[in-house]
Each structure stands twice: as C-alpha cells, then as structure tokens.
Amino acid sequence: MNTVTKWLTRDSVVLGLKATDAKHLCGEVAKFVAHRQNLDENVIFRALWRREQCGSTGLGHGIAIPHARIPGISDPVVLFARTRDPIPFDSPDRQPVSAFFVILVPEHANEDHLRILATVSEMFSDKKFRRQLEVETDAAAIQRLFGNWAGESDLGAPKRLRVI
C-alpha cells in the first residue's frame, strides 16, 4: 500500500462532478466530503477556497491538487474528482483542469500532508500515469491505478520529485 492509497478508497473517487469554476469546485468538494465524513461543509469550503486564493493549486496537464488543513479531523481525507467538463483553474500552462486530487489534513499534520502532496505530485508528473487516469471511467479501477503506481520506494516516500 502506498502513501496515497492508505487514504484513497473507491468511495472517495468521484467522476462527473459538476463544477464551473474553482470556487464552485471547492464548494462541491466540501459538500461531498462533509457528507461522507460528517464534517462542517463551510469549514472545508473556506479552507479550500482560502488556499486557492493564495495561489492556484493547478499543476498543468489538466490536473490540480487542492489541499487544506481542517480543524477537527484526526487523519487525512483525500478525494480524487474528475469534472464533467474542464474548468478554468489558473494553472501554470493556462489549460483548464478536469482532474483534482483533494487533500485535507489535520491542522498539525505536517509530515502526512507533505508526504501525500509529494507522492501525488510525482504520480501526476508521470506521463503514462496521467494518460491511464484520463481514460479510466470506473472508480474502482482509478483507485487501483493509484494503488498500483510503482514510483515510490519501499519506505513510502517518493524516490524523486519531478516538476511537470
């Protein structure tokens, strides 16, 4: 089990999410996570939106990694979402985004937050992985794709972090 699939389940893969822009995406993600985790939707939305206002979490290649610290949770919560249509997300390559890996961590979870963020960043820097992710239409298969990714060392830390 790698760092990401420790937290990513089939139920935390959402395909066909309706969102028209970054703020709407943050709201839809907050609603989904709050319902599944019995958390305050407004707290999640504000944390995600505040982070996006500091600078886009768009990576390029149609991918973004919205992330935030959430008071009151004890373990990371992750979600992979794909929107029905790509949305503007102020990515460095100026391309719209349709694939989102959302990371919510406890307020003081520096190591978990950084490890998940680094691992997901490396996954998305892998062109083959991105292609497989783009064409997959089944939530369970997407969860397996994340689980089968072989870019991590045995210690669970990324071997290298490439900029995409």
Residues annotated as catalytic (active site), given as ranges: 67
**What is the pLDDT at residue 80?**
97
Task: Report the pLDDT value the prediction gives residue 151, as an integer from 0 to 100.
Answer: 58
pLDDT along the chain (164 residues), means of 10: 82 95 97 94 97 95 95 92 96 96 89 86 94 94 88 42 38
pLDDT in the model for residue 152: 45
Which pLDDT score, from 0 to 100, does residue 47 have? 97
Residue 13: partners with Cβ closer than 8 Å, 6 or more residues away: 79, 80, 81, 139, 140, 142, 143
CA distance 3 to 110: 14
pTM over the 0.75 mark: yes
In this prediction, residue 6 carries a pLDDT of: 85
Q: What is the pLDDT of residue 150?
A: 62
What token pair was written down for 58? Answer: 């768009």
Domains defined along the chain, listed by start: 10-148 (3.40.930.10)
* pLDDT score of 1: 58
